[in-house]
Amino acid sequence: MTIKYSDEHSWAKVNDDGTVTIGITDFAQEQLGDLMSIDIPEVGCQITRGEMVCTIESVKTASELIAPISGEVVEVNNALEDEPENINDDPMGDGWIIKVEMSDESQLDELMDEDSYENIT
C-alpha cells in the first residue's frame, strides 16, 4: 500500500477497502516529544484538506493534525484516548489516528512520496 505525506507532517495510507488511514509522521512525534493526550474527532464528521482535524498535546507543546485529504471520518483509534503514547511508539502502525472515506481521490496526487518527504525533514 502506498503511503503519502503532507508538508504538515501527516501521512495517508490507502487501505484495501478504499478508506485512508491518517496519522502523524515519526518526525512529527519526535518533535512533539512524549504525548499526553489527543482530541480525536468523532466518526461521521467531515474533514477538509488543509484544515485542523484534532489537537495533539505533548509535554512540550500542543500541535494540530492538519488533514492531508478531505472526507468523512469512518473510524477512529479509540485506544489513543487512554494510550496516546502509541503514537510515540508506532506512529505509522498502532499510532494511527483516523480512517477516512475520501471525497476526492485526486488529492492524494498532491501529497509527497517518502523520498520527497524525507528531503524536507
pLDDT tens, position by position, 52-102 = 999 999 998 999 999 999 999 999 999 999 999 999 999 999 999 999 999
pLDDT tens, position by position, 6-60 = 999 999 999 999 999 999 999 999 999 999 999 999 999 999 999 999 999 999 8
Between CA 65 and CA 59 the distance in angstroms is 17
Domains observed in the chain? 3-104 (2.40.50.100)
> What string of H, E and C letters represents the secondary structure of 75-100?
EECCHHHHCCHHHHHCCCCCCCCEEE
Kindly report whether the global pTM for this prediction surpasses the value 0.85: yes
Q: Cα torsion for 23, 48, 73, 107, to the nearest 10°?
A: -70
List strands edge to edge, sheet with 20-24. Answer: 3-5, 10-14, 20-24, 98-102, 71-76, 46-47
